[in-house]
Amino acid sequence: MTPAEAQELTVRASNALAAAGHRDMIWGHVAVRDPQNRGIWIKAPGWGLEEVDPALLQLVSFDAEVLSGTGKPHKECHIHLEVLRARPDLVCSVHTHARNAVAFAALDVPLLALSHEGALFGGDDVPRFGKTGALVSTPALGRSLAETLGDAPAALMPKHGMVAAGRSVAAAVMHAVLLDRACQVHLAALAAGPIVIHSDPDEARAKRAECWPEAQIEAGWQYLLRSAAARLSV
């Protein structure tokens, strides 16, 4: 990957998340690791995910300094800086205020594998970040969030939103989308009555391997890109 490709992926991932329902006016962001390891590519503050284009990007160093682009860095750039610092294998991280995830996190109940999306976690509960429900605006809070995330595909941030990550931009975006969809299914089931049927851990692990191999993650990502392109062309 070149820096130009990293910038393009940051734009496309931002637009794809917007098309997938992760818009919250100007809040939420995607970060892609700079291939020269200078920091992260991320949209400048004050713009919505659907508005992002190359001119609105910043290169932010791991010391939270803007190396390229205009304006100050996001207050919550530490989410991405610390997640990607903790996991050198990761290429991309996502933070959004997806409504289903926020609502589900307020219930403080385990996320069950009720659907293919729910099987993403392989029968384990989704991690939850409990250090603060306010902004993750310091390196220390970013490190705590990275520790909570660990090697999971995503984590809930109760009273706030979610974080997702991946070894590719496609994986990080899909993990965010799948977590929110899993929360949506769980909320709908709870609204209808007690949950009776769900995959046990063994079945959930088997479904994760079958439903979410790299090829399927890539196929879902390509769909999100097409969906975003269609919306932007209207």
Over residues 124-134, the pLDDT tens digits come to: 999 999 999 99
Name the CATH superfamily housing domain 3-223.
Class II aldolase/adducin N-terminal domain (3.40.225.10)
Domain boundaries of the chain, sorted by first residue? 3-223
How many angstroms separate the Cα of 28 from the Cα of each of 58, 110, 124, 184?
A: 15, 25, 26, 19
Tens-digit pLDDT profile for residues 192-229: 999 999 999 999 999 999 999 999 999 999 999 999 98
Q: Which two tokens stand for residue 146?
A: 């990275």
Residue 234, pLDDT score: 52
Q: Which two tokens stand for residue 61?
A: 């160093």
Residue 67, pLDDT score: 98
CB 45 within 8 A of CB 56: no
CB 171 within 8 A of CB 222: no
Give phi and psi for 145, each to the nearest 5.
-65, -40
| DSSP code of residue 7 | H
Q: Which two tokens stand for residue 28?
A: 């939420």
Percent of the chain with pLDDT over 70: 99
- The predicted model scores a pTM of 0.96
